[in-house]
Amino acid sequence: MTVIPDTLRENVRLLGELLGDTLLETRGPELFRKVEEIRRLGKAVNTNENSDPQPLIDVLSSLEDDDVLPIVRAFSQFLNLANIADQQFFSSAEANQREAVEDTLEQLVDTLGKDSVADALRNLNIELVLTAHPTEVTRRTLIRKHERIAEDLADLKRNDLLRYERTELKSNLRRTVNEIWHTNEIRDERPTAVDEAKWGFAVIENSLWHAVPQFLRELDRTARSRLGQGLSVDASPFHFYSWMGGDRDGNPNVTHKVTQEVILLGRWMAADLYLKDIHDLAGDLSMSEASADLMAEVGETPTPYRAKLHGLRARLEHTLAWAERRVQGETLAAPDDVIVTRDDILAPLMTCYDSLLECGMSRIANGALLDCIRRVHCFGVNLVPLDIRQDSERHILAIDEVTRYLGLGDYKDWDEDQREAFLLEQLGSRRPLIPRHWEPGADTREVLDTARILAEEPAEVLSSYIISMAKQPSDVLAVALLLKESGLDWNVPIVPLFETLDDLDRSVSVMEKLWSLPWYREYCGGKQTVMIGYSDSAKDAGKLTATWAQYKAQERLVKLASDNDIHLMLFHGRGGTVGRGGGPVEKAMASQPPGSVRGAIRVTEQGEMIRYKFGMPRVAVRSLSIYVAATLRATLEPSAAPKAEWRDLMEAMSKASLERYRSVVRHDERFVPYFRSLTPEQELGMLALGSRPAKRKATGGVESLRAIPWVFAWMQVRLNMPSWLGARQALEHGLATNPELLQDMVENWTFFSSFLDLLEMVLGKADGSITAYYEQQLVPPELHELGEDLREDLKASEVLLNQIKKQQVLLESDPLLAQSILVRNPYTDPLNYLQAELLKRARKTGNLDSQLERALKVTMAGISAGMRNTG
């Protein structure tokens, strides 16, 4: 079996030793001995399949209360350090001897020729939407320290280090590990929506601001080498957007004032970053030779480039000062020269660029100046244009309040035809619908104020208006009317989000009706984005059924768009976990229906995945490379359409999976009490997580629980149920009815083989014996039968998957992941056993003392680190 690479193993060992030294220094040898004993017992359990966990449980049960918190912290922090070592290694040259893009271009050119590949690269449009994470458990303070450790680990691998430099780097590592130990890893206060937005801006400032031009420079070099032509000056295959401060779906903390503040913060931070670039450029562009055009603009001066940039610097300074005062709460008009569009920044930069080229200074032109130009194309005037997201029901109730006030009837009670007729009539009318001085209820006022804020802001700071739980054409028309009534003078793209199984099935009929309406066709201008929901569809129908429904919806939407001459972009609302559509980018892209990518794709990237993929410049460059390679492959060499017999079998398997999933989650009266007693779902409220509540509504049961804490809770107890429930019945059906056809699907249908790979990953991370321990400690005996039934499904799914993949054990084809799980389990398992004990105490007594309550919170963070994701 392949083992962990030496470099990675050395880094994990080094960080573990530093943490051990810190523990010895701060807590003494007795506690250190206990930690080592627990680690040894945890390792023994995971080394031998038949090992008894009871000795480990006995030691954990005998711990004194004062020892629980430092021991929990030690194991949790080791898991975080192991993750840092992982992240650093997989972004290193050792792990990436060949670049993803270089390999992809070489292979595509061999089969398709240079011109086709160059054309696809030229038209690439990858939109990444940064979203806050309601279960992000790591504090920003610690994230920064983790980044420092990764940087020092990378520096330690340099071959030119002098002895004192190596000693200093190790001293820095030791100091940072000490800082982490003495820092509270659990937030005491819940972050606000503005805090989350600031975190998103920080990722851009500290990582993506540097990574994007670095990546484009490397992509340009590769394109010149493989295609014979480089990138254009305005090349921008990536654009970044944000939901932070715009996503008000079920989050009462995101108000119109928050949205306005976040937009202003983005403009302020963008102006600040561009100012720094301009300051550096003014120092670089000291040459006196310039084109006639430039000299005509600046007059006789020995430093024409600096003179040209001086005007831009002044505009940026005015923009910065104005935005800062607005953020601080002052009401003042924007100065005439405030930056409003990216052309305001690009025009003077391009004048300098063209002049340098004309005067034979191409090397200078294509240095820092080109980097700045490419940043402007990528990040615009506020770093990340904002998406607005709101639930369709809020728009319905807002218009209902208007129609009732005007005596027109109850809009919410009208059928779809009545709603559409009314909305189209009002959209075509020149008269305002909403009385100017009318005072609606608070919820309606907030909807209208949000629309008003959008009308006041420059178009470039906004991206789309997304309607969650979209069900009918009127949901889209309602938003258009509300925006029209606000005075918005441009057509904001309106994006329906189809989330549940029924909504996915209905998506085609909704879009067909919309695209048949002359008013809407003119509004959308032949371009449409449709969002596919992964989280709620999986929670509604189970992973396999939801995945198949998403695939079919995309197929039909692509065909419908083609028939209607609509340029369609599919927006994938993926989360970090497999249960919410997550997984490796390469597999996700390769498994898309043929024709659904076509060089353009939009994907959400959530909190912890933003950190893992884009948190450090080197990691970000690698992630951007993977996205470009995967999108090019999906565009130029899409997977073949499934055979009719594959579709028929998949349909039957999906039906079997859905029946099992809903029989448990919806129809078994034992399920809700089992879920509530087994998992820490109710205790999640103790953690100061994101700004958004765990539920869409303050009241309601599991059905109102958001998909993210739903997955979080099951992952904490190591059952990972949302990612596999129903898979056993589907696979059994396939094997029983047509095993040869099933094998054909495994070998020749990327969509199905990718699903099995992701299923294998979540099964590999699950541990039924630990779930059984939670059950024994926390669940009433009358519910144990359900737990046994679920764990039997888990084990049977593993056996079936190994049989289908013709392997002896899970993850046989991914030994590195198998080893990674094996290394983490001795540290994760004790956290699970201690969490179960702490939950038992908390529920028995009604509360825990402050030290044990903090220990419980740390177990949640530590298990998340061990599983490499939360929700």
What does the DSSP 8-state code read for residue 353?
A: H
d(CA 363, CA 593): 43
**Cβ atoms of 824 and 79 closer than 8 Å:** yes
What Cα–Cα distance (Å) separates residue 47 from each residue in 42, 802, 866? Answer: 9, 20, 17
Q: Give Cβ neighbours of residue 807 (< 8 Å, ≥ 6 apart).
A: 813
Mind giving me the DSSP string for 722-759? GGTTTHHHHHHHHHHH-HHHHHHHHHH-HHHHHHHHHH
Mind giving me the DSSP string for 833-846? HHHHHHHHHHHHHS
Q: Return the SS3 of 634.
A: helix
Query: Which of the following is catalytic: 145, 539, 733, 857?
Result: 539
d(CA 491, CA 496): 15
**Cβ atoms of 212 and 91 closer than 8 Å:** no
Q: Return the SS3 of 329.
A: coil
Sign, CA torsion 601/606/612/616: positive
Q: Give Cβ neighbours of residue 869 (< 8 Å, ≥ 6 apart).
A: 576, 577, 582, 608, 609, 715
* Residue 270 one-letter amino acid: A
Q: How many CB atoms lie within 10 A of CB 160?
A: 5
Q: By C-alpha distance, which of 49, 80, 10, 8 is closest to 866?
A: 80
What percent of the chain is helix, strand and coil (3-state, nearest 5)?
Answer: 65, 5, 25
Residue 767 token pair:
């541990």
- Phi, psi of 769, rounded to the nearest 5 degrees: -65, -35
d(CA 177, CA 173): 6
Mind giving me the DSSP string for 458-501? -GGGEEEEEEET--SHHHHHHHHHHHHHHT--S---EEEEE-SH
* DSSP-derived pairing of the beta strands 462-468 and 238-242: unpaired
78: Cα separation from own chain's centroid: 25
d(CA 289, CA 95): 45
d(CA 657, CA 552): 16
**Cβ atoms of 710 and 722 closer than 8 Å:** yes
Q: Give Cβ neighbours of residue 860 (< 8 Å, ≥ 6 apart).
A: 137, 680, 683, 684, 687, 716, 835
Query: Which of the following is catalytic: 34, 43, 133, 733?
Result: 133
User: Considering just the CA atoms, what is the radius of gyration of the chain in Å?
Assistant: 28
Q: At what angle do helices 256-284 and 370-379 cross, to 10 degrees?
A: 170
* DSSP-derived pairing of the beta strands 238-242 and 125-131: parallel
Q: Tell me if residue 539 is catalytic.
A: yes
**Cβ atoms of 661 and 726 closer than 8 Å:** yes
Kindly tell me the number of DSSP H helices and DSSP E strands found in the chain. Answer: 37, 8
d(CA 608, CA 132): 9
d(CA 388, CA 249): 9
Q: Return the SS3 of 602.
A: strand
Sign, CA torsion 16/21/26/30: positive
d(CA 640, CA 748): 9
What does the DSSP 8-state code read for residue 192?
A: P
Positions marked catalytic: 133, 539
